[in-house]
Structure 1
């Protein structure tokens, strides 16, 4: 045994040279100054092996809630194409529509059916009709009496919000005054819809159309709103097209006048009555409430000379052009409603901003709408089927 091992421990007053009576190995050096140290260097860690694998990587930021799990399938799927709406012909067999979807098998049955294909084709047709068109652009045709009646109906619903102020309420979401607004809607929607149908002598269609319209503005029990309600409004418009009350030449007006007014009404309802987003966080971060205005809005911006998808990060562009383009208006609304870093509270919108062309954004959103709305049981279980949108 050496003196270093058997001798007494050095006192606190001993010099550093005394405490280092045995020179350290040549490989032991100070990492700061490069001089010798009193202790040997730590052993080199063994490389990772199958017996001792490296720790699992954990990202700093968790993925978005409701992030799509079938991204590859969405990318490889075909882009939905515009399709004409099949016209209903007399004798009509109007009936109260009912819910029929309860499983993934039902979802597949619907999307493979003529009704499912034509409904998605109708959404694609609406999108195609506003390609490179600003909201303020003149319409190809004068507003039809049916669309004028629809605008009057939506404006009446907006006036009701002014007449029914929110009640004192402590919770973040769900002001009970919304139930009063919805109660008035349920009581008066038949009379509101009558001018739309009476000109064509289709008052009997009220029994089928009222449930679609009533379910377009949110749920009075849960005081919430989401993409399923928005889809029911699209279904209501589809039914009017099936009855030939809306024609293909009306589609630009349907989007830039009727749907924009509907969107403004829903924003007003959301802000006034603090409607809760249906589901957890909307469709994986595009928006807590809507999807269709992103499709229509991206179509508006196709082939724009100056604005690109990345332009959503420019505050001046959002401020000056949101009144003309729905996509920019939606992003502006999200930025005002949510605080913090945009890439964190809206990761999907941030990712989409990296796409080079608006045409790619538009086609991708159409595919995502099919996969993330029309193929989701929690959303489509509330979809309605009758004689105009048939369960086949």
Structure 2
């Protein structure tokens, strides 16, 4: 991640800029791409080999954003699902989402110190994109990316500082993860552009990346362990990867190898270091390189679409990959289990 913007920085309302597949190369050469990839890798390194419950620095910015997410959770309780014929996509979500839109500016102003309120009109666009589409009542990795970009912007304006990198994942992003799971369950949200069994999960990706980093060099938990019921039950509160597995098992039925084939394959990889490196490559290939996701990305003054003078941080040698069939790209040794 680059340094904090100046006190007289001019903020703008972010807008979409990748309007056709032909503009994807410009995205991959942009300042926004470099900043975002650097941010993902910096937080990946920060949480390496650490449990969620570890002691970490939490400044006013972290506490303010977590309090904001707590408020949004209360709003879900105040907006119960309605009776409707269709099973999925409860229309009460639209009412909840409209409340977020109507109050987004105030939510962020309450969460941030007054000297940063000039940034709020730019930040609020990422916030309202973070929880799903109110027309389709769906949620996916693009919405997750919007929230990660919001956190990245909070570092760039100085609302979060470098020693809060661990808190950004374990306090802010983990609280966000709890919130969007509550949204998914309450309003029966559809997956946005679900890839089916060849992808990791119908809704999330980043908690698998950062969650696998948490497990690097763990003395007891190996990749083959994460599909064991007792391991999941005893460790899901401390390890984001395992909390994802627990949630998948809560919402899906049938053999794990059938409804979550990629994760089943990953359990055959020999180390969490290889799992983490492979998932970073897969994130680049299956999220950052996909036009259906990137067409919705917002670019402003903090994450600009202009060409970067820097090379993007290495995603561990990841290059273009074909759509995976059985094994995640870049994870050698991942084998289907009998």
TM over 0.5: yes
> Does residue 35 of structure 2 align to residue 121 of structure 1?
no
Deviation at 1:367?
1.0
- The residue that corresponds to 2:286 in the other structure is 372
Map 1:147-186 to 2 at 5 A. 147-186=62-101
How far apart in 2 are the matches of 1:268 and 1:282? 21
Deviation at 1:283?
8.7
Contact 2:31-2:305 within 8 A present in 1 as well: no
- The residue that corresponds to 1:279 in the other structure is 193
How far apart in 2 are the matches of 1:245 and 1:283? 38
Deviations 1:116-172 (A, max 9, x none): 122111011111111111111111x2x101111101100000011111111012323
Contact 2:235-2:242 within 8 A present in 1 as well: yes
How far apart in 1 are the matches of 2:41 and 2:90? 35
Give the 4+ runs in structure 1 shifted more than 4 A: none
TM-score, normalization: structure 2? 0.88
- The residue that corresponds to 1:88 in the other structure is 5
Deviations 1:86-127 (A, max 9, x none): 422243221111001123332221112232122111011111
Deviation at 1:198?
3.0
Secondary structure of 2:172's match? helix
Contact 1:197-1:205 within 8 A present in 2 as well: no
- The residue that corresponds to 1:234 in the other structure is 148
How far apart in 2 are the matches of 1:332 and 1:284? 19
> Does residue 113 of structure 2 align to residue 187 of structure 1?
no
Gaps of 5+ in 1: 1-83
Q: Which has the higher contact order (CA 8 A, sep 6+)?
A: 2
- The residue that corresponds to 2:117 in the other structure is 203
TM-score, normalization: structure 1? 0.76
Contact 1:301-1:307 within 8 A present in 2 as well: yes
Contact 1:283-1:291 within 8 A present in 2 as well: no
Map 1:1-392 to 2 at 5 A. 84-139=1-56, 141=57, 143-199=58-114, 201-281=115-195, 284-392=198-306
How far apart in 2 are the matches of 1:260 and 1:111? 28
Cα distance change on mapping 1:103 and 1:282 into 2, 3 Å: farther
Deviation at 1:246?
1.3
Contact 2:31-2:303 within 8 A present in 1 as well: no
Cα distance change on mapping 1:131 and 1:96 into 2, 3 Å: same
How far apart in 2 are the matches of 1:337 and 1:297? 20
Deviations 1:261-292 (A, max 9, x none): 00000000000000110013469431100000
Contact 1:174-1:222 within 8 A present in 2 as well: yes
How far apart in 2 are the matches of 1:379 and 1:283? 18
What CA RMSD, in Å, does the superposition of the two structures yield over aligned residues?
Answer: 1.3
